[in-house]
Structure 1
Amino acid sequence: MPTPERTSLDAIVNAACDLLEEEGLASLTMAAVAARVGVRAPSLYKRVRDRSTLIRLVAEATLAELGARLDGVRDPVELANRYRALGHARPAAFQLVMAPGPGIPPVDEHYRQVATEPILRISVELAGEEHALDAARTLTAWCAGFISMELNGSFQLGGDVDRAWGFGVERIVAAITRG
């Protein structure tokens, strides 16, 4: 009789995502995730090869979530706001995919495409086919930079950060919109 499965890959990735948000990347270990899903660490290795693979799976799940949040959005301001919402909802995961740092494994290209397709689609509408990639990079870089600074507490001069976000999004969209 085969041994029953005690956990699924989805449960492992979800537990890893939660652990990342609660305790940070340094605490994202195979043993910690195994404890969260109620198995011993050796059992986890039946589903996930190593910690590097676990981190990659978390990053891919984050990109899939970002793509789902952006899917079908037609308005560039709404797209930027949803991008920011992910950063607020999952700050550690957001930082993991936007500024991965040394030693973080690359994600499968499919997940990167899922997250970037909505941005590219809107960028084509704003800047035209010829400048769509440049526009997408500009919009993404501005959003990611603003959100990262916000998450890291870098806006120390006072004022309304939400108002600054709205101002910035409006100006970036205007800047990348063709004549």
Structure 2
Amino acid sequence: MPAPLRVSQEELVAAIRRIAEQDGIDAVTMSSVAAAVGMRTPSLYKRAAHRHELLRLAADDAARELSTSAAAFSSNGADPDRDPATVLTGLARTLRAYVATAPRVSALLFAAPSEQAAPSTASAEPILRTLLDAVSSAVPGDPLPAARTFTAWIFGFCTMEQAGAFRLGGDVDEAFEFGLDALLAAIGARRQH
């Protein structure tokens, strides 16, 4: 009988995420993760076939965290009479706050280096469902184009913010709210100020 693995899944995921946030996604390798958890690299292959499987573990963990944060906006828990713009604003702010806490790992949710490194369907589904439900309450017909636009703008803004790309001065929070207002108006969900 093989010896039991001494590194828990939680320890493994924490090490992957720590490496990714400190040194970048490219620094997550089989050898760097094995060293971080105190095992030999060949032993890590029993847990993951390649580095993109390691990245998927981190992406799944991030998707679960974001889903938990966004749960207040799900159609199951939200007031059905709630203003769609309020729900979408809450989702946008939640995503921005999450990206600020885990900028590199959160990128795996939207721009993973491969399909194998992206979150699994099961992990991504709750946040996708929350987003589609929120957008569908504001947009007649197919919510997918609006949901894609909404997500792409938020992720793009957050990516630029985390990279320090807003160098022209001004208030970045104000710019976020301005862009969010413009986006909500474009999809027909105006905020009441």
Output the TM-score relative to the length of structure 2: 0.82
Q: Distance in 2 between matches of 1:88 and 1:99?
A: 16
**One-letter code aligned to 1:119:** L
Give the alignment partner of residue 159 of structure 1, picking from 139, 155, 170: 170
> Alignment identity in percent?
36
For structure 1, the residue ranges without an aligned partner over 5 or more in a row are: none
Please say if residues 20 and 28 of structure 2, whose CA atoms lie closer than 8 Å, have aligned partners that are also in contact. Answer: yes
List per-residue Cα deviations over 1:12-61 (Å, max 9, x = no partner): 11210111001112211122212222222222222222212112222222
Give the alignment partner of residue 144 of structure 1, picking from 139, 155, 168: 155
After TM superposition, give the deviation of residue 135 of structure 1 in Å. Answer: 1.8
Q: Summarize the Cα distance change of 1:127–1:38 in structure 2 as closer, same or farther, 3 Å threshold.
A: same
SS in 2 for 1:71: helix
The two structures, once aligned, show a CA RMSD in angstroms of 2.2
Give the corresponding residue for 1:58: 58
Output the TM-score relative to the length of structure 1: 0.88
For structure 2, the residue ranges without an aligned partner over 5 or more in a row are: 79-86
User: Following superposition of structure 1 onto structure 2, how do residues 15-54 of structure 1 map, counting pairs within 5 Å?
Assistant: 15-54=15-54
Please say if residues 123 and 135 of structure 1, whose CA atoms lie closer than 8 Å, have aligned partners that are also in contact. Answer: yes
Is 1:94 the counterpart of 2:106? The answer is yes
After TM superposition, give the deviation of residue 178 of structure 1 in Å. Answer: 6.0
Report the number of matched residues. 178
Runs ≥4 in structure 1, deviation > 3 angstroms?
101-107
Q: Distance in 1 between matches of 2:53 and 2:156?
A: 27
Please say if residues 9 and 47 of structure 1, whose CA atoms lie closer than 8 Å, have aligned partners that are also in contact. Answer: no
List per-residue Cα deviations over 1:101-148 (Å, max 9, x = no partner): 4686444222232221111111011113x1321221121111011111
